A and B are shown apart, each in its own frame.
Chain A
Amino acid sequence: MEFFLQLVLNGLVIGSIYALVGLGFVIIYKSSSILNFAQGEFLMLGAYVCLAIFTSAKVPFLVAFALTLAFSALLGVLMERVLLRPMIGEPVISVIMLTLGLASVLKAVVQAIWGTDTRPYPEIFPTAPVHIGPLPVSQGYLYSLGSVAVLLVLFTLFFKLTRAGIAMRATAFSQQVALSMGISVKRMFALAWSIAAVVSAVGGVLLGGVRGGVDGAFAFFGLKVIPVVILGGLDSIGGAIVGGFVMGILENLSGGYLDPVFGGGVKEVAPFIALVAILTVKPYGLFGKVKIERV
């Protein structure tokens, strides 16, 4: 029982990071219909940049964190400017490949500057574990879960209540109509990409703190985000969140129970098998809107 609970807890924490990355992906898709496969690289870049600012500028961690968020916001705007404009009207595959190409470039830049060694992360969370029932839980996990929960609530409120949020939803629904209503669509796109980059950067820093280090493998989270958003539905923010947690738990449970049976490697395959199973029943994901195609 303890084994099961530990796995679930681990899954929740990793799942919260997946949820963050998935959130960024969905925000970009909802507002600009672009599938951004470079989300994982945004996460990795956020973690590295924060560490770099913290170690070289010797500022308090929170200041480095804030600067990282600013950097990510700028990065998001830059990406949108470079990528979005030429991609209007291009087929899906071109869009996917463009962001994949961008992901390669970002990975290469990180590797060229910081190499492939694991860089140790400073202790942002106190190390003494807290006990929930029979389980020792590291405080880092709790902070991570907590921050994600707070962010998710904030975003839901943002999209429901603020002017900018509603404007973004309007743009996602129909660009033409939003334009005619006086909404600056270009600004909405830039805003979407900034938010997505910032959200991923937060995920990256949290992950770095929880792991105790950062290395190039963080970019793999980008690959993992695909089953997450498909499960949740490409255009559903709530879906991305639910999908993230489900995937995290699923991964850990299958790793814990099935790895000994198959001799390892199940953890990586299980989310995708689950994904295919879901797609056969619900092709647009749990909460996604069904696309009606017209000739």
Chain B
Amino acid sequence: MAKNRNRSFAAWAAAAALLVAGRAEAQEIKVGGIFDLTGITSDVGKPYAQAVQDAVALANASGGINGKKVKLIWSDYGYKIPEAVATYKRLVGDEKVILINGWGTGDTLALKDFINAEKIPYFSGSFAGDLTDPARTPYNFFVAPSYSDQIRAWLSWVKRDWKDKSRNPRVAFFYGDNAYGKAPMEAGRRFAKETGIDLVDEEILPGGLQDATSQLLNMKQKLADYAYINVTTTGVSIVLKDARKLGLTTKFGSNPYGFSEQLPAVAKETAEGVTGVVPHVPFGEDVPGMKAMVEYHQKNHPNDTHDALYVRGWSSAQVWLEGLRRADRAGNLTGEGVKAALETLKDFDLGGLTAPVTYTSTDHRPSTKTPIYMVQGGKLVKVAEYDMPRRPDWLGL
């Protein structure tokens, strides 16, 4: 009956409205979170998101920011740029957050004009080189060496690992068909030319990748000795498995979203000998900063396995929590104030979780120390570390 349907609808609407209406507002600092829990990078996005939430919870439990609690308002955007933009509008327009911890390269780049105009410091899970130049992106920050420095470090390792003096090593790049995949490629191309490495092939791995055989066959024709894969762990393991099927001897390497403790677990024995950039230590490594994290983990998630991605999210949160602390002490808890506070960070020590962080008003590269690890016997073992010089022509690349 139409009447009954109208009435029950009204009742439901009222109930929903009531649920939404009651929201307490204490002395709080509101911070936004835009995470990927269900999209194409969710395999690495989930532990990162969990770590940020945990770091905030721990900070609140230990007295907050000089007594004020941090409220993390977050949602899952599924790695879709339009969703990220809509979430951003909601966080800044409605919830009035003063800082956001975002995630992906594509959406961070898409939002950079908005955050510049509205002065919201934005920490991303993306380490794209485009975000390091305050002249172009004054409000973007991240906690790791940039993707460009990472690929340069890996190429430096290739140069050292290549023993044949008669010719240059041949390298191929595999990357996803999105902003994240393409981010470090130009830097990689230029650096390869500089250091005497022959870039012989570039292959695109589409989103929702199931099968990399045709791309690998193309690479095989170009006889690449090494290949750098710039996607996430799922994509890397597909490439490794298909490479094994084709009997390829190419040595593979990956960026820190493709290479972590998850890789040997997913790719099993095809991950042996694969190298990767590891700017955040594997979970449980013996460094001072690990203690608080491991304790929290034992108490609250004893049954979850955590990895370097978790360490990454945790480190990111520690840095902006420190920025909030300094801004609050200076009495300027606004977006601009937090940005200025962050730029006072010099060699901010995260207890060995990652290299110490320095931001200045002319350089948002937090650090350039890049360790390279290799999978040996199913475990991650450090084989090299490179400290890329802070060259001015590399700023913003």
Contact = CB atoms under 8 A, between A and B. Distances in A.
The answer to whether any beta carbons of A and B sit under 8 Å apart in the complex is yes
Interface of A: 3, 6-7, 10, 14, 111, 115-118, 120, 129, 136, 138, 211-213, 215, 217, 220, 252, 255-256, 259-260, 263-265, 267-268
A70 to B, nearest CB: 27
A267 B206 contact: yes
B241 interface: yes
B361 interface: no
A14 B39 contact: no
B217 A116 contact: no
A55 to B, nearest CB: 15
Nearest to A135: B246
Interface residues of B, number: 30
B215 interface: yes
Contact of B214 (A212, A255, A263): A255
Contacts of A6: 213, 217, 246
A263 B217 contact: no
Contact of A217 (B210, B215, B217, B218): B210
B267 to A, nearest CB: 9
A197 to B, nearest CB: 22
B236 to A, nearest CB: 11
B177 interface: yes
Contacts of B217: 3, 6-7, 256
Nearest to B247: A136
A87 B358 CA distance: 65
Main secondary structure on B side of the interface with A = helix
A136 B245 contact: yes
B127 to A, nearest CB: 23
Contacts of B215: 255, 259
Contact of A118 (B39, B211, B266): B266
Contacts of B38: 111, 115-116
Contact of B211 (A3, A10, A116, A259): A10
Contacts of A213: 234, 237-238, 266
A129 B213 contact: no
22 contacts: A3-B221, A6-B213, A10-B211, A14-B211, A116-B38, A116-B43, A117-B42, A117-B43, A136-B246, A138-B245, A211-B238, A212-B241, A213-B266, A252-B213, A255-B214, A255-B215, A263-B204, A264-B203, A264-B204, A264-B206, A267-B206, A268-B206
Interface string B199-234: 000011010111101110110110000000000001
Contacts of B42: 115-117
A258 B185 CA distance: 21
Contacts of B237: 118, 213
B80 to A, nearest CB: 13
Interface in B174-213: 177, 203-204, 206, 208-211, 213
Interface string B35-67: 001110011001000000000000000000000
Contacts of A220: 208
